[in-house]
Structure 1
Amino acid sequence: MSTVYDVTTWSVPGNPALTCYTDIGAVINSIIADIKAQQPGQASKPGAAIYVPPGDYPLRTRVVVDVSYLTIRGSGHGFTSSSIRYNAGSTASWHEIWPGGSRIRVENTDGRSEAFLVARTGDPRLSSVVFSNFCLDGVGFTPHQNSYRNGKVGIRVDTANDAFRVEGMGFVYLEQALVVRDADALSVSGNFIAECGSCVELVGSGQASKVTDNLIGAGYVGFSVFAEGHEGLLVTGNNVFPRGRSLVHFKNTNRSSISANRFHGFYPGLIDFEGTNRENLISGNHFRREAEPWAPMQPYGNGKDDLYGVVHLRGDANMVSGNLFVYNVPTAKIAPSGATPTVVLVASGADNRLSDNSFAANVAVKAVVLDASTTGTKVLDSATAAQFQSYTSNYTLRPTP
């Protein structure tokens, strides 16, 4: 029994005319059916690997992954900037114009939104599914190529899962690149996820997962990294670039770390906390807030103004330490007009701590602002007296000399 399948050599039973060059989605579904037929025993299900060689493959039928221990892998993430192509005056002299490597074009003429839906009811939960080293290309956005909208999802994991890996992938021009529900020990690492409406969305709940060493850039309609109800999440070592409406968004997420990332954003709220978030660490990051420089994208934004903060903190016992914040927005582009921008806004919560943060700005800023509802905030060497503003008397301040 072979447990390694090649999409280019697989013959769909009863339909030899169907190939990976006509619909790779239907071919992979056929392979998964064969895996299940070949491994019916409860005690012996080693899983399998499905190989996608370098090439160009249309996906017209959604793939449903409902087996554990399955690896779907290619030989090249194939990422290239579709935005540059679509906004170029001419590509006639270019060497190539489309993503390459092991490229799957997400066409979804079956009416489904996902390229890959990973889901299974019953026990145990799905485990050890791997997506590795191929490209999911949404091809184009509607109604225009800068809208970040086309209804397409690269990978949606919709039931509880354990020890999944998404590594070395390329995602481009999808409204949602990766959506994972109820993850345990998920690894999202070493991917190119850019020019998508949203890049990484961890929804429902999760624990002990990581989003590390990725190159990520969402559109103004969505998130670069979103996490809901998570415990012990690491967001570390990523290079996150514009223009996501927030670069990291935590919602009711606790005891997690945002560390050693480079964040570059065009809108307020690069880091945005929603709900109640406890005991999180934001440390050792490099933040740069600028204005949108490219004329076609200047009409768009995330709806927040410069009083919202580069970091918008909500929750208790969080720590913001050892970060470098650079604010470089022309005075004419600060909103509301005439306002002094806020870098870190502690919008709610108790016993938060800010220490040893550094700030550089082209205009006067409020490095730290405390909302009236906050209590017990400690601000140590993270703002000069002139850069600090509080609407509560319940705080400790040791101003930066």
Structure 2
Amino acid sequence: MSTVYDVTAWTIPGSSVTCYDDIGAVINSMIADVKAHQTSQSAKPGAVIYIPPGDYPLKTRVTVDISYLTIRGSGHGFTSLSIRYNTSNTSAWYEINPGSSHVTVQNTDGNSEAFIVTRGGDPRLSSVTFENFCLDGMAFTPNENSYTNGKIGIRFDSANDSAHIQNMGFVYLEHALIVKNADALRVTDNFIAECGNCIKLTGSGQASTISNNSIGAGYVGYSIYAESFFGLLVTGNNVFPRGKSSVTLVNCTLSSITSNRFHAFYPGVVNLSGVCTENLISGNHFYRQPETYGPFVGNNNGLDDLFGLVQLNGSNNALIANHFSFNVPSGSITPSGATPTLVLVKSGDGNYLASNHFVANVAVHTVVLDASTTNTHVMDSGTSAQFQAYSTSYGFRATP
């Protein structure tokens, strides 16, 4: 019995449906076959489901409830659909849709997700991998620029370990990836853009990595969001503008945000929210400018320029050796006439900021300390004129 399945060669028992009719029904049938042939408690090697290059409608949600399953294609196939939507005539284009191993999320069964990974009981699901194919939410009404169509690419809805999402393409989904209660998760080398929300980690988790992705959410959603995570590593990502935030951590501990490029049209680029403790933000490049693309001008995330490009809430966090580039015309700053804040320490004790470099086209406050903060140390992160403290409990050394 082979443990490698090809969606183009599979026949659903008692049905004429093929992968060109509904790839979701085909993959569900394959998973049922794996379970039927791997009944031994001590020998369940899992399987590989292969999606060759081609166009495949997914009308039935796939339920993954076995461990050691890899669903694999031969190309992430991403292409911008927003450019297509905002172009009046595409008749001369070479192509207008994603390609390679291209799955269109149609969901005519009434479910939101293309894939749901879930199982009760023990042990938790382990080593489920999605790699190298495209999940496309397709055109929708009334406003494709919102990226909100109710569709979800992949949802992990129960505790899981060692899941991999790699070399994937996600486009035009309200939520590309939602993962609940994950340990040792790896989300790497994906292209996740033009989605309402890109990566959302919920519940809790530990020892996980989000790395080397190209990411860009819509203005109402998050590019990267994580709650109650311990030891999360966010590194080497190129995050495009227009997301509500590039990274939001809520109640996270001992996590690192390092060596990323954050390009943003709004404040709130990195937000440590709730009670975040002992997290490191280092070696990142922040670039803030106003919206440049006509169809999106006038949209924003609802935050003003006093919120900060980075906002820290919690204690003993470190913001070290980052580069900030701020290039917003004075007439586009909100509230009108305000001096923009680049880093706001909103709450907490013992936060440490050092050796951050700031370049701005207007006068800015590089660091602002809220009145509730205590024992904050700010060194070489702005001049005396650029530093503003509403607290009396801090140490400050100005940039020479």
Matched, 1:197 2:196: yes
Q: How many residues align?
A: 400
Superimposed CA distance per residue, residues 19-65 of structure 1 (whole angstroms, 9 cap, x where no aligned partner): 00000000000000000001011111000000000000000000000
Equivalent position of 2:282 in the other structure: 283
Amino acid at match of 2:24: G
- Measured in 2, the distance between the counterparts of 1:142 and 1:330 equals 34
In structure 1, list runs of 5 or more residues that go unmatched.
none
Counterpart Cα distance in 1 of 2:59 and 2:361? 50
Aligned 1:112-131 pairs, distance under 5 A: 112-131=111-130
Give the letter for the 2:317 counterpart.
N
**Cα separation, 1, equivalents of 2:264 and 2:284:** 13
RMSD: 0.5
Q: Which secondary structure state, in structure 2, belongs to the residue aligned with residue 299 of structure 1?
A: coil
Counterpart of 2:6 in structure 1 is 6
| Counterpart secondary structure, 1:316 | coil
| Aligned counterpart, 1:351 | 350
For 1:142 and 1:25, the matched residues in 2 are separated by 24
User: Does the Cα contact within 8 Å between 2:86 and 2:295 map onto a contact in 1?
Assistant: no
Deviation at 1:93, TM superposition (A): 0.7
C-alpha deviation, 1:295, in angstroms:
2.1
SS of the counterpart of 2:70? strand
1:140: how far off?
A: 2.0
CA distance in 2, matches of 1:31, 1:242: 39
Q: Deviations over 1:171-222 (max 9, x none)?
A: 0000000000000000000000000000000000000000000000000111
For 1:385, what is the secondary structure of its paired residue? coil
SS in 2 for 1:95: coil
Cα drift, residue 362 of structure 1: 0.4
Alignment of 1:154-173 (within 5 A): 154-173=153-172
* Matched residue, 1:23: 22
The two structures have a TM-score, normalised by structure 1, of 0.99
Q: What residue is the counterpart of 2:102 in the other structure?
A: 103
Segments of 4+ moved more than 3 angstroms = none
**Is the deviation greater in 141-150 or in 239-248?**
141-150
3-state DSSP of counterpart to 1:304: coil
1:73 is aligned to: 72
1:44 alignment partner in structure 2? 43
Percent of aligned positions that are identical: 64
Matched position secondary structure for 1:194: strand
Q: Secondary structure, in 3 states, of the residue corresponding to 1:336?
A: coil
Greater CA drift, 135-144 or 169-178: 135-144
Task: Return the alpha-carbon distance in structure 2 between the equivalents of residues 185 and 95 of structure 1.
Answer: 41
Which residue of 2 is the match for residue 369 of structure 1?
A: 368
**1:228 partnered with 2:219:** no
Deviations 1:329-382 (A, max 9, x none): 011110000000000000000000000000000000000000000000000000
| Offset from partner CA, 1:122-155 (integer Å, 9 cap, x none) | 0000000000000000002432111111000000
Structure 2 residue ranges without an equivalent (≥5): none
SS at match of 2:35: helix
Q: Does the Cα contact within 8 Å between 1:141 and 1:147 map onto a contact in 2?
A: no
Q: Distance in 2 between matches of 1:151 and 1:142?
A: 11
Q: Is the 8 A contact 1:140 1:150 kept in 2?
A: no
